[in-house]
C-alpha cells in the first residue's frame, strides 16, 4: 500500500482541491466544523457556507453562547439539520469539559455529540497532524480497488494507516480523498488518468469491482420527494419564520403525521411552544427564506 500513498501524494500537489478550510492558519475548530458539515454533503456545497459559519462562530465558545436556533438557521439548505444541533451540543461540551478547545485525542473527540470514528480521525489528521487516515467512502473504495480485495471498514482503515509514513497523515488523507472525489469515482472511474493505475489490482475494471461488495459501500438513499426527510425540512423552514401553529405543522407533515413532529422534537430540532412549535431558543423571525431540504 505504500506505493499507493506515494503515488497519490506526487499527483496531488498540482491537483489539490482548493477548499477554504485547507488554508494555513485554520484552527482545529475550523477543521472540525468543516468535517461535520461535509458529512453526507459535497465539499463544494459546504465551502461557501463554511465561511459564513466560521465568521459567525469563530470558536466553540461563540457557538455555545448562541441559541441552537441560530446555528440551525445558518445550516438549513445543507441538509441533515440534526448535524447543526449536535455541533451546538459539541461546542457546549468543549466549553464545559475541554476549556473551550477541540480535544486532540481520539477518545476526547469521540465523546463529543455527533462525532464518529471517521470525523474524529479527520480532525486528528488535519488539525493535529496525526499519522492517521480517515477512511470515508472515497478512501475505502480506493483501498479496496488498489488491493483487489473486498474489505470491511476496519480492514480498509488498517491498510490505510499502515501505508502512511511519519508526519504525512494530513497530506495522505487529503490526497486520497481528492483522488476518490475526482478520479477513482464509484460509477465512472477514470482509470486512464489515475496516477496509481500501474500498481492498482483493479485498474480498467477487468473483474467485479471489489469496492462494490464491501461493507463500506454507500447505502442508496430513498426518494426525497414525498419522504419524511422532505416533510421535516418543510417544518424546519416554516419554524425559522417564527412560531409554527400545531395545525400548520401537522399539515406540513402530510401523510407522515405527528410522528415526524415527535421525531423533530426528540432530535432537538424544534421545541413545543404552547400549541405550536419553534426552533430551540428562537427569538423573533428569520430574515431569509429557505428551500425544502432534508434534515
DSSP state string for 160-203:
HHHTPPTT-HHHHHHHHHHHHHHTS-SSS--GGG-TTGGG-SST
Q: d(Cα 270, Cα 262) in Å, to the nearest integer?
A: 9
In a 13 Å sphere around the CA of 190, the CA atoms on its Cβ side amount to 8
16 among known catalytic residues: no
188 CB burial (10 A radius; 0-12, 13-18, 19+): exposed
Which one of 6, 35, 70, 294 is the catalytic residue? Answer: 35
Query: Which residue is associated with the grid cell 419522504?
Result: 227
Q: d(Cα 36, Cα 120) in Å, to the nearest integer?
A: 10
The answer to whether 28 and 101 are in contact (CB under 8 A) is: yes
**Catalytic positions, written as ranges:** 35
Amino acid at each position: 500500500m505504500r506505493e499507493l500513498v506515494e503515488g497519490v501524494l506526487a499527483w496531488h500537489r498540482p491537483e489539490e482541491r482548493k477548499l477554504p478550510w485547507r488554508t494555513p492558519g485554520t484552527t482545529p475548530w475550523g477543521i472540525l466544523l468543516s468535517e461535520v458539515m461535509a458529512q453526507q454533503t459535497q465539499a463544494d456545497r459546504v465551502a461557501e457556507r463554511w465561511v459564513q459559519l466560521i465568521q459567525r462562530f469563530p470558536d466553540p465558545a461563540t457557538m455555545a453562547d448562541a441559541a441552537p436556533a441560530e446555528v440551525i438557521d445558518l445550516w438549513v439548505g445543507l441538509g441533515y439539520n440534526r448535524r447543526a444541533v449536535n455541533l451546538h451540543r459539541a461546542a457546549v461540551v468543549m466549553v464545559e469539559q475541554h476549556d473551550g478547545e477541540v480535544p486532540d485525542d481520539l477518545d476526547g473527540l469521540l465523546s463529543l455529540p455527533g462525532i464518529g470514528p471517521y470525523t474524529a480521525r479527520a480532525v486528528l489528521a488535519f488539525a493535529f497532524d496525526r499519522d492517521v487516515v480517515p477512511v470515508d467512502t472515497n478512501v475505502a473504495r480506493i483501498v479496496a480497488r488498489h488491493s483487489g480485495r473486498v474489505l470491511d471498514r476496519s480492514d480498509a482503515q488498517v491498510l490505510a494507516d499502515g501505508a502512511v509514513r511519519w508526519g504525512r497523515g494530513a497530506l495522505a488523507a487529503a490526497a486520497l480523498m481528492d483522488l476518490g472525489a475526482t478520479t477513482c469515482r464509484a460509477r465512472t472511474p477514470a482509470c486512464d488518468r489515475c496516477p496509481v493505475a500501474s500498481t492498482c489490482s483493479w485498474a480498467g475494471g477487468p473483474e467485479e469491482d471489489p469496492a462494490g461488495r464491501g461493507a463500506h459501500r454507500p447505502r442508496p438513499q430513498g426518494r426525497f420527494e414525498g419522504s419524511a426527510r422532505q416533510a421535516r425540512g418543510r417544518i424546519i423552514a416554516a419554524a425559522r419564520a417564527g412560531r409554527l401553529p400545531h395545525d400548520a405543522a401537522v399539515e406540513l407533515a402530510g401523510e407522515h403525521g405527528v410522528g415526524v413532529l415527535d421525531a423533530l422534537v426528540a432530535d432537538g430540532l424544534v421545541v413545543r411552544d404552547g400549541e405550536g412549535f419553534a426552533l430551540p431558543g428562537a427569538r423573533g423571525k428569520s430574515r431569509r427564506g429557505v428551500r425544502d431540504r432534508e434534515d
